[in-house]
Amino acid sequence: MKNIAVFASGSGSNFQAILDAVNEGSLQANVKLLVCDRPGAYVIERAEQNSIPYFVFSAKDFPNKEAFELRILQELKNEDIEYLVLAGYMRLVSLTLLAEYTGHIVNIHPSLLPSFPGKDAIGQALEAQANKSGVTIHFVDEGMDTGPIIAQQTIEIDYNETRKSLQDKIQNIEHQLYPVILQKLLTCQ
């Protein structure tokens, strides 16, 4: 089984879905570390409840991105991490991590990339009056949501869709799709 670190910035619902899949046996991976850039984020409580070690930092406590990514890299090496799984991590990953984990960093994004990259993809889709959206799982490169696509799943956007209803639909897909794709990815490489 591969050792993975999950990177998250918020509530951690995808982190929990990954842990649930591991506990059920449908995802064969060792979740060895949570990396979180927001002290006080609910995902930290999820890690504590599941006895997962975590590294929490605030970017403002470091002189630059390279400095905090070097510190993250140290934590990853301490845990023999093989894959980085981004699950609502709201920062671009730079060459410090990319160089060490090329082809081993995966992200999930709440749109059908290349449409609506970056922050607030759900809001972007609603503002554009799109009739469909979905979920994209992709490898991470130096761009914002530009890496090679691994999998996508489409959903229809109803004419009376709200931000909350669309977010709920997308998260439901994310929680099902991400563990399945991770299992395929981790067993193929």
Indicate the pTM of the whole model: 0.94
84-110: pLDDT as tens digits: 999 999 888 999 999 999 999 999 999
- 51 DSSP assignment: T
What sign results for the dihedral spanned by CA atoms 21, 98, 1, 184? positive
Angstrom CA distances, 111 to 39, 79, 179, stand at: 27, 32, 18
Active-site residues, by number, are 109
pLDDT at 189 (0 to 100): 65
Q: Are 170 and 110 a contacting pair, CB within 8 Å?
A: yes
Strand pairing category for 105-109 and 132-139? antiparallel
Q: Where are the beta strands (DSSP E) in 24-93?
A: 29-36, 54-56, 83-86
Tokens of 56: 């929490």
What sign results for the dihedral spanned by CA atoms 90, 123, 147, 181? positive
Q: Which residues in the chain come in under a pLDDT of 50? A: none
Domain ranges of the chain: 2-188
Share of the chain above pLDDT 90, in %: 94
In sequence order, what are the residues at sequence separation of 6 or more whose Cβ sits closer than 8 angstroms to the Cβ of residue 98?
Answer: 105, 140, 141, 142
* Third-level CATH fold of 2-188: Rossmann fold (3.40.50)
pLDDT at 67 (0 to 100): 94
The helix or strand, by DSSP H or E, that contains position 151, with its residue range, turns out to be strand 149-156
